[in-house]
C-alpha cells in the first residue's frame, strides 16, 4: 500500500516535472556543450551573470529556491525530501544559477546558524531570490591558505566600523551589492581570535572593485580595495572578534558546494567521443568508464553531505574529501576532453571546443579555489587521521607581532 508520504512525494515530483518542462530549457536542447561556467569574455560573463540572476528569481517565484528555508525568512518551509526530489527532476535542465548558486550554498547555512533574527529577515529573502548579489571577501594578497593571517583592519567609530584593506580573487565582486567580509578587529589577539565577520555593503564610497581578466579572457574575479568604508555593528555575523566560527562554516559549505556543483561531464565526454567516432577506442572507453565512476561516487558523496547540511547535522563525509575528489575529476576530465579533440581542443574549431577549453583551464583553479589541495590534505591529516597539527610558528602570538612577508 502506498503511504501518505509517498503520495505527497509523487505529487510534488509531478508538479516539479511539469513546471520544469514548461519553464526551463533542457540542457540537451542547447547542446551538451553549452553548459559553460566561466565565460570566455567579460561581456559574456556579465550577460551570464544577469541570466543567472533572472533564473534565480524565476526559481524563487515558483517556490524552487530556498525550499527548506523557514517561511518567516522568505523560504518555502519545506522538508529535505522536497529538495532531493527537485534536484532529481531538474538534473537535465539548466537550473544552475552560477555564482548565485555558489554564494547561497556557502552563506545560507552560516546565516541561519549565526544570524540575528533581524539579519535573517533582512538578508535571507533577498539572497535566495537573487535580488541582492553577494560576493565573498576573504582572501588577501598575503592571506589565502593562511586565511587567519588576514590584515584588513576594522576600527570602531561610534556604532560603525571603519574598514581599510585589500581583498583579492573575489568571484563576481564586480556585480555584488553586498559582501561577506573578514576583517581584523583585535590585532592584539592571536590570529584566529581577533577577526570579525561583516555583512558588508559594497555600494558605498571607499570600495573600489577592479576586475581581473584571466588568460583565456574570462573575467570571473576581481580585487577589492577598501579605504574607509563603513559597516554598522548590527551587520556583524556572530560576535565581534569571533568571526572564525562563521568563517569555518562558510568554508566547509564551500567545499561541499563545489562537489555538488561539478556537473555531469561524463555524459558530455561520452557524447563527444560518440560524435567524433572515438567511442570504440579501447583506451578512450577505459578513461570514460573511470570518469563516469568517479562522477557517480561524487554524486553519492555530495547527496549525503547536502542531506546532512539540510538537517543541520555534521556531514557524514569530510567535505575536504569531496573537494579533493572534484579537483582530481576535473584534471581527468580536462585531459580526456583534450585527448578526444586533439588540436581542436585548444582552438575554436569544433562546437565542443569552448567547453573542452574550459575543462582544461579549470583543472587548475579547481585545485585552488575553496582551499588548495595541500590545505585539504592537511585538514584530513589533522581532523580525520589525527596526525599532529601542521607546524604553527605563530601559535598563541598576538597577530600584530607575527612576522609578515
Ligand X SMILES: Cc1cc2nc3c(=O)[nH]c(=O)nc-3n(C[C@H](O)[C@H](O)[C@H](O)COP(=O)(O)OP(=O)(O)OC[C@H]3O[C@@H](n4cnc5c(N)ncnc54)[C@H](O)[C@@H]3O)c2cc1C
Considering only residues 56-115, where is the footprint of ligand X by CB under 6 A?
A: none
Is 371 one of the binding residues for ligand X (CB under 6 A)? yes
- C-beta closer to ligand X: residue 40 or 369: 369
Cβ–Cβ < 8 Å for 224, 287: no
- C-beta closer to ligand X: residue 137 or 341: 137
Is 179 one of the binding residues for ligand X (CB under 6 A)? no
- C-beta closer to ligand X: residue 166 or 193: 166
Out of 214, 279, 378, 394, the residue judged to bind ligand X by CB under 6 A = 378
CA distances from 270 to 127, 277, 348, 364 (A): 36, 10, 20, 23
Query: In the bound complex, what is the minimum distance in angstroms from residue 2's beta carbon to ligand X?
Result: 46
Is 372 one of the binding residues for ligand X (CB under 6 A)? yes
Is 36 one of the binding residues for ligand X (CB under 6 A)? no
Cβ–Cβ < 8 Å for 143, 151: yes
DSSP of 96-139, one letter per residue? --HHHHHHHHHHHHHHHHH--HHHHHHHHHHHHTTSS-EEEE--
Q: How far apart are CA 142 and CA 121, in angstroms?
A: 35
Q: How far apart are CA 221 and CA 168, in angstroms?
A: 8
Taking CB under 6 A as the binding criterion, the range among 239-247, 297-305, 311-319, 372-380 that sits at the site for ligand X is 372-380
Considering only residues 237-256, where is the footprint of ligand X by CB under 6 A?
A: none
Out of 76, 97, 101, 170, the residue judged to bind ligand X by CB under 6 A = 170
What are phi and psi for residue 384, nearest 5 degrees?
A: -100, -35
- C-beta closer to ligand X: residue 64 or 99: 99
Out of 374, 383, 384, 401, the residue judged to bind ligand X by CB under 6 A = 374
Cβ–Cβ < 8 Å for 179, 136: yes
Considering only residues 118-157, where is the footprint of ligand X by CB under 6 A?
A: 136-139, 144-145
Question: CA 309, 313, 316, 317: dihedral to nearest 10 degrees?
Answer: 50
Q: Which of 315, 334, 181 is nearest to 255 (CA)?
A: 315
Is 263 one of the binding residues for ligand X (CB under 6 A)? no
Taking CB under 6 A as the binding criterion, the range among 289-297, 335-343, 344-352, 368-376 that sits at the site for ligand X is 368-376
Positions in the binding site for ligand X (CB under 6 A):
136-139, 144-145, 169-171, 365, 368-369, 371-372, 374-375, 378, 390
Amino acid at each position: 500500500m502506498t503511504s501518505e508520504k509517498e503520495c505527497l512525494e509523487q505529487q510534488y515530483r509531478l508538479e516539479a516535472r511539469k513546471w520544469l518542462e514548461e519553464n526551463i530549457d533542457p540542457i540537451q536542447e542547447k547542446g551538451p556543450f553549452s553548459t559553460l561556467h566561466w565565460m570566455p569574455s567579460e561581456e559574456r560573463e556579465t550577460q551570464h551573470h544577469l541570466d543567472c540572476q533572472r533564473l534565480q528569481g524565476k526559481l524563487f517565484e515558483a517556490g524552487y529556491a530556498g525550499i527548506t528555508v523557514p517561511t518567516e525568512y522568505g523560504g518555502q518551509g519545506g522538508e529535505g525530501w522536497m529538495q532531493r526530489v527537485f534536484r532529481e527532476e531538474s538534473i537535465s535542465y539548466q537550473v544552475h544559477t552560477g555564482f548565485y548558486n555558489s554564494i547561497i550554498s556557502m552563506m545560507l547555512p552560516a546565516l541561519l546558524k549565526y544570524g540575528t533574527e533581524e539579519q535573517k529577515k533582512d538578508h535571507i529573502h533577498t539572497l535566495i531570490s537573487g535580488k541582492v548579489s553577494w560576493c565573498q571577501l576573504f582572501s588577501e594578497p598575503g592571506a589565502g591558505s593562511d586565511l587567519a593571517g588576514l590584515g584588513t583592519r576594522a576600527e570602531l567609530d561610534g556604532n560603525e566600523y571603519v574598514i581599510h584593506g585589500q581583498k583579492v580573487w573575489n568571484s563576481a565582486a564586480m556585480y555584488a551589492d553586498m559582501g561577506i567580509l573578514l576583517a581584523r578587529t583585535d590585532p592584539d589577539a592571536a590570529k584566529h581570535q581577533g577577526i570579525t565577520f561583516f555583512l558588508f555593503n559594497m555600494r558605498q564610497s571607499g570600495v573600489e572593485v577592479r576586475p581581473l581578466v584571466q588568460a583565456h579572457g574570462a573575467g570571473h574575479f576581481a580585487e577589492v580595495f577598501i579605504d574607509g568604508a563603513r559597516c554598522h555593528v548590527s551587520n556583524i555575523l556572530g560576535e565581534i572578534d569571533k568571526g572564525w566560527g562563521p568563517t569555518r562554516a562558510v568554508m566547509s559549505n564551500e567545499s561541499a558546494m563545489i562537489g555538488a556543483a561539478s556537473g555531469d561531464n561524463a555524459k558530455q565526454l561520452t557524447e563527444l567521443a560518440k560524435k567524433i567516432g572515438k567511442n570504440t577506442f579501447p583506451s578512450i572507453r577505459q578513461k570514460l568508464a573511470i570518469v563516469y565512476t568517479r562522477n557517480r561516487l561524487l554524486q553519492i558523496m555530495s547527496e549525503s553531505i547536502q542531506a546532512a547540511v539540510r538537517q543541520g547535522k555534521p556531514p557524514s563525509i569530510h567535505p575536504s574529501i569531496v573537494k579533493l575528489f572534484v579537483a582530481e575529476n576535473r584534471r581527468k576530465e580536462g585531459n580526456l576532453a583534450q585527448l578526444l579533440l586533439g588540436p581542436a581542443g585548444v582552438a575554436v574549431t569544433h562546437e565542443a571546443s569552448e567547453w573542452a577549453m574550459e575543462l582544461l583551464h579549470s583543472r587548475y583553479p579547481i585545485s585552488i579555489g575553496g582551499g588548495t589541495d595541500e590545505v585539504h590534505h592537511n585538514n584530513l591529516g589533522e581532523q580525520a587521521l589525527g596526525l599532529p597539527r601542521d607546524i604553527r610558528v605563530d601559535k598563541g602570538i598576538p597577530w600584530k607581532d607575527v612576522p609578515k612577508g
